[in-house]
Amino acid sequence: MAEILDPTVPPAAPARRAGHAARRAGSFAAVVLSAYTLAFFLLYALPSDPVALMLERRSSGAGGASPERIAALREAHGLDDPLLLRYLTTLGRLLTGDLGTSFQSGRPVPEVLAAVAPGTLSLAAAALVIAVPFSVALALVTSWRSDGLAYRLLRHAPALIAAIPAFWLGLLLLRLFSFTLGWVPSSGGEGLAGLVLPAVALALPVSAALAAVLVRSLDDVRQAPFVELLTARGLPWRRVYLAHVARNALLPFVTLAGLTVGGVLVGTVITETVFARAGLGRLLASSVETQDAPVILAITVLAALVFATVNLAVDLLYPLLDPRLRRENGGAPA
């Protein structure tokens, strides 16, 4: 910290910047690789046999699959190779873009993912579009004055919202807006009408966390000496609050907003199930149920990629928000 604030330190050297970028890229790769490795060993180290499970589900107990046939199918899926070999060949295939085929449906994994991914992307985007402005607005209104009515009323709203189970919230929204009022369809992801409720259900818990962090951070900054100084110099509170307090309080919020992308993706598992929407979350849930390893691996790696990319973007955003970080190596922000 002392170094960063030291005015004698020269502006960022290009070499350092390159080093920084390389380190970031390295940690990006490490995150994705670890996610893959962890998912792979968890999946394949499980004692169950995905081929037997597939046949079981297809026949729903009618039987008829002989051990020889199970063995032949296992071989066809490469399940008999040593674990480490499979780990490496699967990794090699993933790197060349070959995601394999689903155990359950026999369809290529990219095809399976492509069929449902747009639904999840639009849902996640809609949820973020709701969550970020809503949480910022809620936090700004809450922290306007530490002794105001809004502060007293709204300070605990985020905790309350966060305490509502996403599942219940979804059912409640459905009950009110679909079944009682009949404003929007209860299922199906077509058009904006079908997107509103699930996006709200997904956005609310996320907004709660974001708002809570921002309120806390606004409260902290508001007590900083420079705020008192600015106020004493006669700057209107509105200006002090929005231009100085809010801006300085934004850093932790941006960090959390980045992490939230991961949270939103996780949330789609429940939201998509309740609202009967097709999507990656539901696909993941059903694939876990059937131990459809290629699909689970692909979704895991995809999620890790998205998560790592967003965090990289957030990292690159810091210097824009905080001039202090432009000077040095851009180490982790406060």
Partner 1 sequence: MTRTTRQVPLALATAATLLLAGCGGSASSTDAGDATHLRIAYGWYPTCFDYAQSNPFALFGRQVLDTLLSENPETGEIEPYLAESWETLEDGRAYEFTLREGVTFSNGEELTAQVVADNFETLRTLAEQGVSPTVDAYLRGYHHAEALDERTVRIAFDEPNAGFLQANTEGQFGIVAPESLARTPEQRCAEGTVGTGPFVLDEAVQDERVEYVRRDGYDWAPAAHGREGEAALERVTIQIVPEESVRAAGVLSGEYDVAYSITDSGLAQAEGQDGVQTVLAPDRSVVNTLVVNTADPVLADPAVRRAIQHGIDREEFVDTFYGEGVEPATDVVSRGHRFHTDRGEALAHDPDLSRSLLEEAGWRVGEDGVRVRDGQRLEVGLTFVGSDIGASTAGWEYLQSGLAEIGVALELNQVSDAEQADLRASGDWQLAVYQGASRGDADGIAAFYHTELAQWTGQAPRPEVDELLAEQATTVDPERRRQLVDEAVTILVEEGYGIPLFDSAQVLLARDSVRDLTFPVNAWEPILHRVTKD
Give min distance, CB of 251 to partner 1, in A.
28
Least distance between partner 1 and beta carbon 115 (Å) = 4
Q: What is the DSSP string of 74-121?
A: HHHTTTTS-HHHHHHHHHHHHHTT---B-TTT-SBHHHHHHHHHHHHH
Judged by the rule CB under 8 A, the positions of this chain that interact with partner 1 are 46-50, 52-53, 55-65, 69-70, 72-73, 101, 104-107, 112, 115-116, 152-153, 156-157, 160, 164, 171-172, 174-176, 178-182, 185-189, 272-279, 282-283, 286, 289-291
* Cα Dmax for the chain: 86
- Rounded Cα distance, 238 and 217, in Å: 17
**Phi/psi-derived region of residue 107, left when phi > 0, alpha when psi is between -120 and 50, beta in every other case:** beta
Query: CB-wise, 209 or 251, nearer to partner 1?
Result: 209
Query: Please, which residue, 207 or 311, has the CB nearer to partner 1?
Result: 207
Least distance in angstroms from the C-beta of 83 to partner 1 = 17
The three-class DSSP label of residue 329 is coil
- In angstroms, rounded to a whole number, what is the distance separating the alpha carbons of residues 275 and 186? 6
What's the min distance (Å) between Cβ of 116 and partner 1? 6
- Would you give the DSSP letter of residue 243? I
Judged by beta carbon, residue 138 or residue 246, the one nearer partner 1 is 138
CA distances (Å), 148 to each of 144, 145, 298, in order?
8, 5, 50
Nearest CB to partner 1, comparing residues 248 and 290: 290
CB 159 to partner 1: min, Å: 9
3-state secondary structure of 51: helix
Minimum separation from the CB atom of position 63 to partner 1 (A): 5
Nearer to partner 1, 4 or 164 (CB): 164
Instruction: Please list the residues that pair with 108 across neighbouring strands.
Output: 101
Residue (224 or 288) nearer to partner 1, CB: 288
